[in-house]
Amino acid sequence: MKATFKFHADERLHERRDSLCIVDSYGGVSWIPQAVFKSSCDIDVKAFPFDKQSCHLKFGSWTYDGLQLDLYFKNDIEEMDMSEFQTSNVWHVISAVAKRNVKRYTCCAEPFIDLTFWITIRRKATFYAYTLILPCVLLTSLTLILFWIPAESPAKLTLGMSTFMAFFILLIIFEANLPPAATSFPVIGMSIFMAYFVLLSIFQRNIPPSETSPVLGTYYCVNMVLITMSSFLCVFVVNMSVTGTRYPVHLPKTLKKVMFTYIARALCMDNIVKPFMEDGHVTCPTTSRRYMGVNGDGSKFTNDWKGSSETLITVQKDSSNELAVIHTKVNEIRNFIKIYKERLEEKDRKEKIAKEWKVLALIFDRIFFIIYITTIIVSLMVVLPIIFDSDIEEK
């Protein structure tokens, strides 16, 4: 009599070889089938690659009931014999227990006996930790440097795009080295960006099917969002830093008050914004002293000038024509100095406006840095407990 492996998923039944039965003098029959059986198993990849799976194998007879064919464990040991088990490079076998079941079905009055084995396995995560998680964490942390690079530096955008490309190159390397698994995967984050299709297709080839989304897949999508958004934010900051140069318009009062008074103080940037917190018109004392008078004092220059004019008028009363010429020349010089002074003041005003926008861009850089480092820490706090729990249970 033969027992069959119930609910099998082996498509190679034609490869099963017939084997002879051994009958002893007491009526005992030994039958050792020469076949490799495959079975389906529900896979939960939520904790991939730190997942633990539990599968069961059931052996019984479809045609013979328990009165005709009795099944029991050798030496009454209810566990799987692992003495000939070949160690796997992918899985740890945590437990392999068994149980003898006696069931009655509505079709028949006789009982049916089966032997069920429960196998609990855990994935060896060391390889995935070094090749999947660590490089991803390092690349994501590299985006933090973007917010410390000056906005006027071309390296700000170059580093962001290089990090983005390096992430995809890393994913291609993963695809080449990860062991093959299933051909389906729960769609997560497909609506975020079309660029994430590459990421999801890689997980599709390498992660078993499951009704739950893997934590690592979510972590990768979060990192892809961070890296992508860092490039957009860098463009935003760079554009803001040059706005004052292109369009010399003062910051809106409300925005300036909120960012320079409250946000800057919370970010410990008081010393940077302090020169821009004075009310009134833009003053340029250094430029005025340097260009308005010979002695560095505009008022003194004017007074001396007027005194010189009165002296010329007194001394040269009879030389009205010469005095008129001199007076005209002096007026031309005064007008030239006045125009030159206005140009310098306008130039300094534009420079101050440009600096205000650059300081605002610097504040936004600091805000984005804090948001990014907080997001990275939170995402790691979600993944690391899974790692630690897996290590503790394994030990």
Q: Which has the higher per-residue pLDDT, 151 or 137?
A: 137
* Amino acid in position 75: N
pLDDT tens track for 209-262: 555 556 666 677 777 777 777 778 878 888 877 777 777 778 888 888 888 888
Q: How sure is the predictor about 283, in pLDDT bands with cuts at 50, 70 and 90?
A: very low
pLDDT (0 to 100) of residue 389: 61
Please list, in sequence order, all residues whose beta carbon lies within 8 angstroms of the beta carbon of residue 303, skipping any fewer than 6 positions away.
none
* Amino acid in position 267: L
Q: State how far the Cα of 57 lies from the Cα of 145, in Å rounded to an integer.
A: 53
* Mean of pLDDT values over 253-280: 79
Question: Model-level pTM?
Answer: 0.55
Of 21-35, 159-173, 351-365, give the range with the top mean pLDDT: 351-365
Domains located in the chain, CATH noted: 4-124 (2.70.170.10), 126-395 (no CATH)
pLDDT tens track for 169-222: 766 665 565 444 443 333 322 323 333 444 444 444 455 555 555 666 667 777
pLDDT (0 to 100) of residue 8: 52
Write down the mean pLDDT value for the chain: 71
The pair of structure tokens assigned to 385 is 């407990």
pLDDT (0 to 100) of residue 10: 52
Residue 332 scores a pLDDT above 60: yes
pLDDT tens track for 74-84: 777 888 888 88
Q: Check: CB of residue 239 under 8 Å from CB of residue 245.
A: no
Percent of all residues in the chain with a pLDDT value above 90, rounded to a whole number: 0
Q: Check: CB of residue 230 under 8 Å from CB of residue 143.
A: yes
